[in-house]
Amino acid sequence: MAVEGGLKCVKFLLFFFNFLFWLCGLALIVLGVLVQVAVHNTPAIKNAASSATPLTLIVVGVIIFFISFFGCCGAWKENHCMVTTFAVLLSFIIIIEIGTAIAGYVFRGKLSNIVHTGLKEMVNSYKNSTVDFRKSMDKLQEDLKCCGANSSSDWANFATDHQSVPDSCCKNVTVDCGEGNMKNANVVYQEGCQRAVEDLLKKNILWVIVAALVIAFLQIMGIVFACMLMRGIRSGYEVM
């Protein structure tokens, strides 16, 4: 009787954990979308690999969303095949999530070079680019309160006097405020945008890594409960 009671407890725990997985899947989708938006709204990031982590997280979230529903049905109906399939699929998801966390960590290490290269290209292409491109660079500098990639000196070729910067570099943006004021710290931001962009992206990537590892840990517990329930069903115990 104690064994049956224990299995009944495992059944409801598995059902409860699957409900948590369902919420985690939803959370992963939302988090992945937010990080993806943050990456794409940062024009300095052009490397396609930068989108791999949030996109993987979104895909994993969608899969978890449906697998958790499948696991709930298997636990409630005490179906050995469904519970087994759930445990196997969840194991694959855990491997993917750990891979996502590793990919995110590796990307953080390469972030400095990617951002530096992207910002340099944007500065060099600014004058001959489209209006939308210039607006995105201006918005980046205004929002992050910075100028150029490393410093305001990156805009040395912006004008023939080699002393002017885009107006978006100004602390108080007005028409022609950047003209001749490249080195004027009272008017123009002197610090480049690289550090600010890196900090912004690292913060988002860190949330991805933490979310993936925490949810993977919870899923391992779910697999343990699933295995216990499978063993009970296979042994012929009456869970209910």
Q: pLDDT for 64-86, tens place per residue?
A: 777 777 777 777 777 777 778 88
Average pLDDT of the segment spanning 216-222: 78
Give Cα separations from 42 to 24, 164, 190 (angstroms). 27, 24, 20
Average pLDDT of the segment spanning 88-93: 81
Write out the two tokens for 72.
Answer: 């709930």
Cα-flanking dihedrals φ and ψ of residue 179, to 5°? Answer: -70, 115
What is the C-alpha to C-alpha distance for residues 60 and 137, in angstroms, rounded to an integer?
A: 33
Q: Quick one: 132 exposed, middle or buried, by C-beta within 10 A (0-12, 13-18, 19+)?
A: exposed
Q: What is the pLDDT of residue 48?
A: 44
Q: Is the pLDDT of residue 195 over 80?
A: yes
pTM of the model: 0.55
Question: Mean pLDDT, the chain, as a whole number?
Answer: 78
**Cβ-contact 3, 218 below 8 angstroms:** no
Q: Name, in order, each residue with C-beta under 8 angstroms of 133's C-beta and a sequence gap of 6 or more.
A: 43, 122, 125, 126
Residue of higher predicted confidence among 90 and 147: 147
Mean pLDDT is highest, among 29-43, 44-58, 169-183, for: 169-183
Q: Is the pLDDT of residue 11 over 60?
A: yes
User: Buried (b) or exposed (e) across 168-179, using 16+ Cβ within 10 A?
Assistant: bbbeeeeeebbb
Helix (H), strand (E) at residue 60: helix 52-77
Mean pLDDT is highest, among 88-92, 99-103, 189-193, 211-215, for: 189-193
Domain ranges of the chain: 2-113+202-234
What is the C-alpha to C-alpha distance for residues 87 and 83, in angstroms, rounded to an integer?
A: 6
- Going by the DSSP 8-state scheme, the letter that residue 58 receives in this structure is H
**Cβ-contact 32, 9 below 8 angstroms:** no
Selection from 9, 24, 129, 162 nearest residue 75 by Cα:
9
Average pLDDT of the segment spanning 52-73: 74
Q: Is the pLDDT of residue 163 over 80?
A: yes
Q: Report residue 236's pLDDT band, with 50, 70 and 90 as the boundaries.
A: low
pLDDT tens digits for range 115-128: 888 888 888 888 88
Average pLDDT of the segment spanning 131-145: 89
Helix (H), strand (E) at residue 200: helix 194-234
